[in-house]
Amino acid sequence: MKTYYIILGIIILLISCQSDSSVDKENSQTKPVEDPLTPLRKEKAKKILQTLPSPIETAIIFQSVGAKYNSEATNPSGNVTKCPLSSQQAINLGFYGADLSYANIFNEQQEILKYVSCSKKMAESLGINTAFDNEIIECIEKNKENNDSLTFIINEAFWTVDTYLKENGQDNLSALIISGGWIEAFYLGVICLDREDTNPNFMQKIAEQKLTLNILLEMLATYDHEDVYKMQQNLSTLKSLYDKVEIDKNNSKTNAQKGFIMYKKESILAIANEVIKIRNELVNQQL
């Protein structure tokens, strides 16, 4: 019942950097060349962020269920050398961003540095050498015990990645980074789900991600690119499982935005299994 909230971490690091909410973009030396659909994609990214718990909620949830950091669950650091294609590199950067957030939530300082290194290598593979330069690395090392400061610094680094990709006509890779981060974060959560003694609050959080998935798919649909289409296909089965989760917008028992969410235990377990399958297939494609 744990990390659903990691999702929050990665989306804050990756999606908020697209939402104009936390970084002074006037510092950029070059104005990004935007696709006409970029404003729509930014709006979708903001909506994804709005469906996720806050950083404080994330930490509280982890603490309340007694969650432990699981280093064997994260994307292996060795995968940095196993993804020659830019699409694989982007998805892996999303994975490592989620893993970095996961380590940050648990104050796993050595793991933080490991996944900063992985993120740096993935960014450099995409031709982005400024996102995790020596100055950023030094700042991260100095602030590795301060979760809030570290989140802000990493956010800056991922915004640099996002800006570079937009300036160089590779907006599709940003979509893959977001997708990879969401999948990895979701995976890190559902592997903790106790199938025999399910936690109602955690089941509810999984059900609520129907909203996030729908928005993510809407954003991916704005791209006419083969690699993004493949990601859509990866998520299509998951969407069909979420079709069994009902949201009554006329009933605000859950909250005004989400409405009353109705689901069966079997549906949530099937969703959890599908998330694990999707994530592992993406990882195995690199082996």
pLDDT tens for residues 117-176? Answer: 999 999 999 999 888 888 888 888 888 788 778 878 877 887 788 788 878 888 899 889
**pLDDT for res 62:** 54
Mean pLDDT for the stretch of residues 231-255: 82
Residue 237 CA neighbour count, 13 Å, CB half = 12
| Start-to-end C-alpha separation, the chain | 29
Query: pLDDT for 11-26, tens place per residue?
Result: 444 444 344 433 343 4
pLDDT of residue 69: 85
What is the share, in percent, of the chain residues with pLDDT greater than 90? 30
Task: State pTM to two decimals.
Answer: 0.82
Q: Give which of 108, 115, 111, 3 is closest to 63, Cα–Cα.
A: 3
Domain ranges of the chain: 6-284
**Beta carbons of 123 and 161 less than 8 angstroms apart:** yes
Which residue, 216, 208, 212, is CA-closest to 179? Answer: 216
What does the pLDDT look like over 52-97, one tens digit per residue? 554 445 555 555 556 678 899 999 999 999 888 999 999 999 999 8
What is the tens place of the pLDDT at every residue in 102-118?
Answer: 888 888 889 999 999 99
CB 45 within 8 A of CB 19: yes
User: Residue 7 pLDDT more than 60?
Assistant: no
Give the pLDDT of residue 59.
54
Distance (Å, rounded) from C-alpha 235 to C-alpha 253? Answer: 28
Q: For residue 174, how far is the Cα from the chain centroid?
A: 11
